[in-house]
Structure formats: C-alpha cells, structure tokens
Structure 1
Amino acid sequence: MTYSPAVESRLSKPQVHKFAESIAQQLSFTAGDDIHALIERMGGVVQIEDTLLTDPEHTGSLYVEGPSKFRIVVPSHTSPERDRFTVAHELGHYVLHYLWAKKRTRPSQIGLSLSAVDQNALSGRQIGSLRHS
C-alpha cells in the first residue's frame, strides 16, 4: 500500500495552536466531544494494535491514503486518556500536513483562507469558508 508523504507546514508553534483552535471552532468541536465520530466523519478510522511486545515505545501512527482516507493507530497498552491525546495529535498532523499544507501554493501563504482545503475531507459535509487567522 502506498501512503501520501507529509508536507511541512512552516508554521510556528503559536500559529499551529491558533490553527487548531480555529479548525475546532469551525467544526463545532469542543473539549469532551466524541473524537472518534469526528474522525469517521472525515473519512478516517481509529485502530487499536497490540504493540506492547514488538514496540512498547510506540504511541501512535498516522497512515494517509488520500484526502478522505486515513487511519490512526493507537497501541492497546495505553490509557483511554492517552489514546484521546494521540488521536487528536495525529488528526492535527492529518489536517496540517496533508489537507492544509498541500493546498498552499507558496510557503508564505501562512494566513491564507482555508477555503482551499478539501472541506469534505474536513467534515464529510459542506462547512462554509474555513480560515486560518
């Protein structure tokens, strides 16, 4: 199986935080909401794999096959709280390095409108204009 390579975002840490807050707000996602439902809505799946004996330090992975086809793998030996963090973290990589970064035409477009992002990939439905401010 061939997976899509990630694209560097060239955003600073504060810009990434703002970006994440903006996307969560635009998707009406708040702390405590069902993150697995959001992943499914975006075309992804979360899989649990037993990596304790083969790779005990493994905390999570993201595999992207296309704009609306990805999977997030979490190990079976971690807590639900850690899994939620890992799923959110990998989802951030998916949106930032696959959906948003691949739609930019120049690295200087950090403040661009996210309307260029495949909105169906973000929510499985039409959201309106997504922006990173």
Structure 2
Amino acid sequence: MHSKPQVLVWLTCDGVHIDPATGKHTILGIFSNIRAREFPFTHPYMVWFLTLSDVPTGNHKIKVSMGVDPTNMQPLIERPFESKGPLQRINLINEVRNLSFPGPGNFDIMIEIDDYPLLATNINVSK
C-alpha cells in the first residue's frame, strides 16, 4: 500500500531555533492572525513550520500558495525535500519575507506535496 503524506504540524511563527547539540526545534512567537494599522501592508518576516509523516522514500517537492480566492492562488514557496521513508517525521522550515496584503480579510493557504493537495488553511489579516 502506498502511503499518502500527512500534515502533523502547521504553525505560523516568528522563528525556529535548532539546537546544534540535540537537533531539537524551539518554536518562537506562534501566531494565527496578523493585525495592521494601514493597508496595503507588508509583513517583513514569518516562518511557516510544517511537520510531515508518511512521505514515501525519495525526493519530493513542497508548494505553498496563498490568495483571497481558492481558484487563483499565488505560489509563495516551491522547494525540494527528501524523505528517508514513511516513518520519518520531516520538519520543514519555510521562511516567508515581505508578504504583502492589499487589505484586511481571510487569505487562503494551500499546501501541496508533489502537486497533491495536503492542507487547506487560512490566515486572517485585520485592522
């Protein structure tokens, strides 16, 4: 049976520190919405932290897209990663710089692995 990748963790945060001695990840400043004084607004830096399991052995591609309309999503992140096998838990740290929001609202986010939709979520941006 062919396993399908599973999302175990999806976090938006200020940063991720990896301890060089232990490899443990420390997540800094988790948030689920953004507030801005005026629009258009550009958020300078955030991290989308993702933990995956059940990813088949081999090379894969993650794609993260965002938009106000699920039928018109803009790719923000597209990058390769490797799985050593379906039992491996894979932590992906995706840095997002200078993300612009034209106005307040809910912005849809789609995460895909090898063009397979894995998670649909959103981030709320308010005044």
Shorter-chain TM-score range: under 0.3
Q: Identify the structure with the greater strand proportion.
A: 2
State the TM-score, normalized to the length of structure 2.
0.28
* Structure that is richer in helix per residue: 1
